[in-house]
Amino acid sequence: MKTIQIGFTISVLAFLLGCSKSSIDETWEGLKFPAHFPPPVYEMKDNPVTKAGFELGKKIFYDPILSKNNTISCGSCHIQSSAFTHHGHDLSHGINDQLGKRNALPIQNLLWQTSFFWDGGVHNIDLISLNPIQNPVEMDEDPQQVLLKLKNHAEYPALFKKAFGTEEINTARFLQALSQFMAMLISSNSKYDQYKRGELSLSAEEMEGLQIFKSKCSHCHAGELFTDNSFRNNRLSSQFNFDKGRYEISLIPSDIGKFKVPSLRNITLTAPYMHHGQIGTLEGVLDHYALNVKNSSTLDSSLISNQGLGINLDAQEKKRIVSFLNTLTDETFIKNTHFSE
């Protein structure tokens, strides 16, 4: 009888310990940079990530109060299960079901990026959030109005005090809290990462895919982040009347049709693909590179050779590359409850 009781007490204790372990207090480790990544562009020295700041940023991120009619949150278009993209939408839907002109980008590993958005229009991580809030087809709200709503809110003043020392709610603190949340969205535990850390090996097909990827794709999708942070034209169409990409920021004619080389981490979760969401599958992307690249004055020179335009890929190679790209999916990232609403 006694042993049963002790056994019972132990299991209750173990259960309680198990519960508290999953709470953020117990498992909060703060901002950590993966050892196999290069040094980050942002170290968050001016805006150190604290637990209270991160939690405030998370609450703001998931709060529709940021939009004019209180219906759209950042999380409406950036959904965790699809690596914080708007899965299933080629162009994102914002306030009053209005269509944007671009495909939502994932929010992951932002600290390693030199600029943000498909055209690199924002260079400072703290200024990202003003764009969607003010964009008439996304949240269509005046940031000053957002601050007012937060000041009059039952919970926010106390949460700002916890994060920044006083109840004052201003633009800088608001943006910094959002940056603290987004800074923590680090994805570095895919099968590929585990292979890089020597924890497991890739299958023969995945390894072959990696080799082909290195020889044919990695001069643009470079390094551990799978981007060289440059803007290039991989020529999805012969017309760029609708969206001129980098040119819209730089106004340099040779930038017409250039877009950010996106990271390929979690690529299986973020369909449809490309800035306009034109391509539905990874097979379709590879067919594009092999067959459909169109010429133009700003087409990337690496996509032009004696054999013609695009990248030479046979059916086997395409299959192997897709196997490799599948290893970039990070289940721990999309299931991490610290990041969930």
Q: In the complex, which residues of this chain contact ligand HEC (CB under 6 A)?
A: 61, 66, 72, 74, 76-78, 92, 94, 100, 102, 104-105, 107, 110, 113, 116-118, 128-129, 132-133, 138-139, 178, 182, 216-217, 219-221, 232, 234, 236, 259, 261-262, 264, 267, 270, 273-275, 282, 285, 289, 300, 302-303, 311, 321
154/173 Cα distance (integer angstroms): 18
CA angle 288, 225, 38 (to 5 degrees): 155
How far, in Å, CA of 74 to CA of 300, rounded? Answer: 33
Cα dist from 332 to 22, 129, 168, whole Å: 14, 25, 35
Q: Rounded to whole angstroms, how far apart are CA atoms 201 and 174? A: 43
Q: With contact defined as beta carbons under 8 Å apart, do 268 and 330 qualify?
A: no
End-to-end CA distance of the chain: 44
Write down the least CB distance from residue 306 to ligand HEC, Å: 17
* Residue type for position 216: K
312, HSE (Cβ side, Cα atoms, 13 Å): 6
User: Whole-number minimum distance, CB 198 to ligand HEC, in Å?
Assistant: 25
* Least gap, CB of 34 to ligand HEC (angstroms): 17
CB of 174 to ligand HEC, least distance (A): 10
The counts of H helices and E strands in the chain are 14, 4
Our CA angle for 34, 24, 330, nearest 5°, is 40
Per DSSP, the three-state class of 259 is: strand
Residue 111 vs 217, nearer CB to ligand HEC: 217
Give whichever of 164 and 244 is closer to ligand HEC, judged by the CB atom: 244
* Beta carbon nearer to ligand HEC, 106 or 193: 106
Q: Which is nearer to ligand HEC, 193 or 270 (CB)?
A: 270
Shortest distance, position 48 Cβ to ligand HEC, whole Å: 19
Q: Which tokens belong to 208? A: 């072959």
Q: Which is nearer to ligand HEC, 91 or 193 (CB)?
A: 91
> What does residue 326 show for φ and ψ, rounded to 5 degrees?
-60, -25
Question: Given the complex with ligand HEC, which of 102 and 191 has the nearer CB atom?
Answer: 102
Largest CA distance in the chain: 84
Q: Which is nearer to ligand HEC, 176 or 270 (CB)?
A: 270
What does the alpha-carbon distance between residue 265 and residue 268 come to, in Å, rounded to a whole number? 8
Q: How far is the CB of 173 from ligand HEC (least distance, A)?
A: 15
Task: Identify the sign of the CA torsion 38, 41, 45, 48.
Answer: negative
**CB 27 → ligand HEC: shortest distance, Å?**
24
Burial of 177 (0-12, 13-18, 19+ CB in 10 A): buried
**Residue 60 beta carbon to ligand HEC: minimum distance, rounded to whole angstroms:** 8
**Closest CB to ligand HEC among residues 52, 290:** 290
The smaller minimum CB distance to ligand HEC, of residues 56 and 77, is found at: 77
> Cβ 55 to ligand HEC, closest distance in Å?
15
